Amino acid sequence: MIGCYTVFSTKLNRFYVGATQDGIESRLKKHNDRFYGVGNFTSKASDWELVLFIDCTTFAQAVRIERHIKKMKSAVFIRNLLKYPEMITKLKTDN
């Protein structure tokens, strides 16, 4: 499944945004198992939980949405995405 995802760590009280072409369950397991190495941001915790998945038609679209969300540099923006689904629809049509 192709998409942009957001995970949250209670330990860090932080969000992480990424894009994937793999199944999201597999990707989440890799983050929690520190598969991407100890220098990777997600390796700082092992309690990542999926909070948002935006289904995309292409990987390029998923990466554009990921970059847009990261560019906002705001947990408030991510929380608003969770609260207002129409923002996700706009993200998908703009990207």
pLDDT at 50: 97
The residue count for the chain: 95
Number of structural domains (the chain) is 1
Residue 74: which of 15, 33, 12 has the closest Cα? 15
Q: When comparing pLDDT for 37 and 20, which is higher? A: 20
Query: Which band of pLDDT confidence, cut at 50, 70 and 90, is reported for residue 39?
Result: confident
- Burial bucket for residue 48 (CB in 10 Å: 0-12, 13-18, 19+): buried
pLDDT at 12: 96
pLDDT in tens, 40-95: 899 999 999 999 999 999 999 999 999 999 999 999 999 999 999 999 999 998 87
Number of C-beta neighbours around residue 10 at 10 A: 10
Domain carrying residue 20: 3-94
HSE, CB side, 13 Å, CA atoms: give it for residue 15. Answer: 20
Query: 34: which 2 tokens?
Result: 């520190």
